[in-house]
Structure 1
Amino acid sequence: MNTAAILALAMLLDAALGEPEWLWRRLPHPAVLMGRLIGWGDRRLNNGTAKRAKGVALLLALMLGAGLFGWVLSLFGPLVETLLAAILLAQRSLVDHVRAVADGLRQSLPAGRRAVAMIVSRDTAEMTEEAVARSAIESGAENLSDGIIAPALWFLVAGLPGLLVYKIVNTADSMIGYRTPRYADFGWAAARMDDLLNLIPARLTALLIALPGGVLHHWRDIRADAALHRSPNAGWPEAAMARATGVALAGPRAYDGQLQQFAWVHGAGARAIGPRAIDAAITRLWQAWLVMWAIALVLACL
Structure 2
Amino acid sequence: MEAVDLVKSYRTGRNKPPITALRGLTFTVATGTVFGLLGPNGAGKSTTVKILSTLSAADSGSARVAGIEVATRPEQVRRMIGFVSQRSGTDPTGTATENLLLAGRLHGMSRRDALARARELLDRFGLADAANRQTRTYSGGMARKLDVALGLMHRPQVLFLDEPTTGLDPHARSEMWAEIARMADDEQMTVLLTTHYLEEADHLADRIAIVDQGTVVAAGTPNELKSGLRGDAVHVELLQADERALAVLRAVPELRDITMDGNAVRGRTDDGARALPPVLAALEEAGMAVASATLARPSLDDVYLRHTGHSFAAGAAPKAAEVTK
Task: Answer 1 or 2: which has greater helix percent.
Answer: 1
Max Rg structure = 2
TM-score range (shorter-chain normalised) is under 0.3
Task: Answer 1 or 2: which has greater strand percent.
Answer: 2
TM-score by length of 1: 0.28
TM-score by length of 2: 0.26
